[in-house]
Amino acid sequence: MNQAERYEEARKKYAAIGVDTDAAIQKMMGIPVSLHCWQGDDVTGFDHDGPLTGGIQTTGNYPGKARTPEELMQDMDMAIKLMPGKKKLNLHACYAIFADGEHADRDKLEPKHFAKWVEFAKERNMGIDFNPTFFSHEKVKDGLTLSSPDEETRKFWIEHGKACIRISQYFAKETGMPCVMNIWTGDGSKDIPADRMGPRMRYKDSIEQILSEPYDKALVKPCVESKVFGIGVEAFTVGSAEFALSFAASHDGCLPLMDNGHYHPTEVVSDKIPALLCFFPEIALHITRPIRWDSDHVVLFDDETKEMAKEIVRNDALSRVYMALDYFDASINRVAAWTVGFCSWQKALLNALCLPNGELKKLQDENRMTELMVMQEDVKTYPFGEVWEEYCRQCGVAADYSWLDAVKKYEAEVLSKR
């Protein structure tokens, strides 16, 4: 059978359990997923030459790392061409692009410093999400930014956050799509602190000052992201899960953002998604793959990735959850890393759309748990690969690993010469 015939057989098999694969594919076409620029240069950015700080770490030294805005955009373009589906661009503030001879510190950043990124996004019909960069900077004092007891330090970072609010509104107005602006810091301490509440009260006040900057709530979606620990921040993290969730719950218009690498290894964000959807009109996700800690491995089509997507789809929350990728692996080809991670999340969403979710819920509500188990296991071996192939065909990209040939060619002709 050819591809069309194989898909037709798969379509019929899914239809027998009440799943319309054509409708699932059409819905997938309109689901935006934010692609993070920092995979391309190992979270370096363009405003500093120092080491990566903030409790995060990139490992590996694969050749071809982007060194300039032009190289990073070129690499992202290469990856985008290989991916199906709708994309947004996710930027950190440290990726500001300055004119020759120009520089602005992070507290003085302006929309004009991101004009080239707006041009890049608009040419590709992409929205832009944004992240203030509270790490890898000389004004991170004693590992602290927004929670610092030094008022000069704290003021600098508050002004950085306010500048990012203004830039986020600029992004939204220019692209016509809401900008998710995520606040995360690596603030904390390596060993047991004597005061946990003081830093948190300062952090709370700092975020409140940032959010006092005027913005249109329909255009800018500020978020607060938590973390359990980081490198050099093992004993105490100011922005813990309880802090971030409580802040978002008590401040109108502020969203909780969950990174599935930012929790204890036995916790799963798939269980947290429906819990938060009970209380928040909208939430945000940073999707990664943690191995024993927030290692930020490339996202794969694995069990927890599937479960996260299932919770979004089965709870009819595709319009309520802002989804962004967040990982960085310097040990493999970076264009391939982008492509594998993006496609894996796309597969997870499409897979969730191809489940008989209504029937499965009905079996649970009627306590027909044997049938529920059997049906959930049976659908695992349905011909999802044929649906994925049809989706990729309609998007004009390869469904199998043949796209890797284009990446190898790009590596030989472009990346290896850097």
List residues with catalytic annotation.
184, 225, 227, 259, 262, 286, 294, 296, 326
CB-based burial of residue 375 (10 Å sphere; 0-12 exposed, 13-18 middle, 19+ buried)? middle
Cα–chain center distance at 177: 16
Which among 43, 136, 125 is positioned nearest to 87, based on CA atoms? 125
Beta bridge partner(s), residue 237: 188
Which among 109, 129, 85 is positioned nearest to 345, based on CA atoms? 85
Cα–Cα dist 236/142, whole Å: 14
Which among 352, 390, 322, 283 is positioned nearest to 19, based on CA atoms? 352
> How far are the Cα atoms of 5, 123, 175, 339 from residue 74, in angstroms, in the given order?
37, 13, 20, 14
HEC sequence for 352-384: HHCCCHHHHHHHHHCCCHHHHHHHHHHHHHCCH
193: amino acid identity, one letter? P
Q: Which two tokens stand for residue 336?
A: 């391939």
- What is the CA angle 398-175-184, rounded to 5? 85
Three-state DSSP class for residue 321: strand
Three-state DSSP class for residue 284: strand
Cα–Cα dist 237/262, whole Å: 11
Sign of the Cα pseudo-torsion (184, 185, 188, 194, in order): negative
Which among 220, 267, 275, 271 is positioned nearest to 249, based on CA atoms? 275
> How far are the Cα atoms of 90, 102, 128, 192, 245 from residue 223, in angstroms, in the given order?
14, 30, 15, 28, 10
